[in-house]
Amino acid sequence: MSAQREDPLKPAWSRDLLDSPFPPELDAPYFDNTLDAWVLSRYEDILAVFWASELSPASFNSKNIPDSFSKDESFKMRTETLEALTSGRMRVWKEHLTKETSALMEGLNWQEPVDLLSQYAQPLCLSLAAMVTEISDYDAVRMCNRAAQVSAASAEPYNQTLRSEAKAASAELRSCFHAEPEALRESGFVALSQTMLHILANAWFALMQHPQQWLLLYRQPELIEQAIEELLRYAGLARILHRTATADVDINGCIIRRGERIFLRIIAANRDPERFFHPNEVDITRRGAGHLTLGAGLHSCVGASLVRMAAATLTSPLIKRFARVTLDQPATWQGGSGFCSPISLWVRVG
Ligand code: HEM
């Protein structure tokens, strides 16, 4: 087995984790010699990065400077994906998902503890992933473990073993998907079948930790869309996003030189008190928060409308039916410096 490179983020920023009893710490931009990268955590700094055309997305371990060809490709991919996610298609997917969600809710025995992830969210996310990427349910089930391997490597990007497994899994996944545009092939499948599950796990964990907010949503289910935005902000998912400077750039007075890399601490920025009133509280009545969980600016998530639709469609039946949902056993966590989420959510309802 190849030697594991130590995860340099493991001891750092542990307060960025959702189960931390302490809020994240925010700093002015600084250059970290161990990471060989700038580290930014304040909301305004990260937002400036998201809108800077001199800063391109990069993978965590790449020191290459992205070229203008990859910028054109990225622009084309964005346009094609956004055009494919028409309101008509979104409506059809939502209708299907709503029907499947109702059937599943009816079929579960809620008198006993239920795992909201494996018994409820997972089959629904998988079915949505199959619909959107236009593969059969049979192929979706067959490819699910492969997608989980890709996702596990994103959660722990410094784990060499997971990375090798993900490389093989990606190759197998690639041969199964042919939808247009490209973002609705294997990467879309992984996002909907896996990332969606992790983000829901965090959101529902956070809501259960705030039973008054769950009750409020039970009484006012029309707040669901606002509540989803607040849960995305508070619970988040990606811990770090990366950028590389293709030219010198000034980010709120901090000069970043061509070729330098930047680590963006998204979870910390989502709790920045300069931006959010009482940032470490869940408040589902919060408006216009503008969280960064799905990115922002030039490279914001093109699947954001799908994420919001799926999150609301899967959460609504739970909050409409149950006034109180509590964990039946403490959550155990998976992941690493890419993202963390509960492995299961065994709950009792009331
Ligand atoms: C399920 C939960 C999802 C989460 C948490 C998520 C999160 C994100 C974030 C944070 C970014 C910004 C990356 C950056 O700035 O470096 C992003 C970009 C992106 N997302 Fe998502 N995403 C999700 C689902 C999806 C889905 C379903 C699709 C497919 C339709 C998708 C396609 C993309 C693409 C193609 C980009 C790159 C955009 C660009 O570089 O211009 N995402 N996503």
Residue 139 has pLDDT above 60, yes or no: yes
CA-nearest of 343, 339, 346, 349 to 151 is 339
Q: Is 312 in the pocket of ligand 1 (CB under 6 A)?
A: no
Q: Is 188 in the pocket of ligand 1 (CB under 6 A)?
A: yes
Average pLDDT over residues 309-337: 96
Percent of the chain with pLDDT over 70: 97
- Can you state the angle between helices 160-174 and 137-155, rounded to 10 degrees? 150
pLDDT tens by residue, 220-266: 999 999 999 999 999 999 999 999 999 999 999 999 999 999 999 99
Q: Is 18 in the pocket of ligand 1 (CB under 6 A)?
A: no
pLDDT of residue 2: 38
Q: Which residue has the tokens 């509960």?
A: 342
Query: Cβ neighbours of residue 249 under 8 Å, at least 6 residues apart?
Result: 52, 54, 55, 255, 256
CA distance 103 to 97: 10
- 3-class SS at 165? helix
pLDDT tens by residue, 280-317: 999 999 987 799 999 999 999 999 999 999 999 999 99
Query: Cβ neighbours of residue 165 under 8 Å, at least 6 residues apart?
Result: 149, 152, 153
* Distance, CA of 95 to chain centre: 23
pLDDT of residue 1: 35
Q: What is the mean pLDDT of the chain?
A: 94
pLDDT of residue 8: 67
Give the closest residue (by CA) to ligand 1 atom 31: 303
Domain boundaries, the chain: 46-52+65-272+287-349
DSSP string for 182-235:
GGGSHHHHHIIIIIHHHHHHHHHHHHHT-HHHHHHHHH-GGGHHHHHHHHHHHH
Residue 117 has pLDDT above 50, yes or no: yes
CATH class of 46-52+65-272+287-349: mainly alpha
pLDDT of residue 297: 96
Query: Cβ neighbours of residue 91 under 8 Å, at least 6 residues apart?
Result: none
> In what helix (H) or strand (E) does residue 40 lie, and over which residues does it extend?
strand 37-40
Q: Is 236 in the pocket of ligand 1 (CB under 6 A)?
A: no
Residue 53 has pLDDT above 50, yes or no: yes
CA distance 103 to 105: 6
CA-nearest of 137, 147, 197 to 172 is 147
Binned at pLDDT 50, 70 and 90, residue 74 comes out as confident
Our mutation pick for probing the ligand 1 site, out of 301, 306, 314, counting the most ligand atoms within 8 A of Cβ, is 301
Residue 13 has pLDDT above 90, yes or no: no
pLDDT of residue 6: 64
Higher-confidence residue of 60 and 111: namely 111
Q: Is 78 in the pocket of ligand 1 (CB under 6 A)?
A: yes
Q: Is 338 in the pocket of ligand 1 (CB under 6 A)?
A: no
Say how many Å lie between the CA of residue 219 and the centre of ligand 1: 32
pLDDT tens by residue, 191-226: 999 999 999 999 999 999 999 999 999 999 999 999
pLDDT of residue 289: 74
Average pLDDT over residues 69-82: 86
- How much of the chain is in helix, strand and coil states, percent to nearest 5? 50, 10, 35
Q: Is 310 in the pocket of ligand 1 (CB under 6 A)?
A: no
pLDDT tens by residue, 158-170: 899 999 999 999 9
CA distance 74 to 83: 14
Tokens read off for 239: 């811990």
CB-CB neighbours of 38 under 10 Å: 22
CB distance 180 to 80 below 8 Å: yes
Say how many Å lie between the CA of residue 154 and the centre of ligand 1: 13
pLDDT of residue 189: 98
Q: How far is CA 215 from CA 76, 211, 212, 350, in A?
A: 44, 6, 5, 11
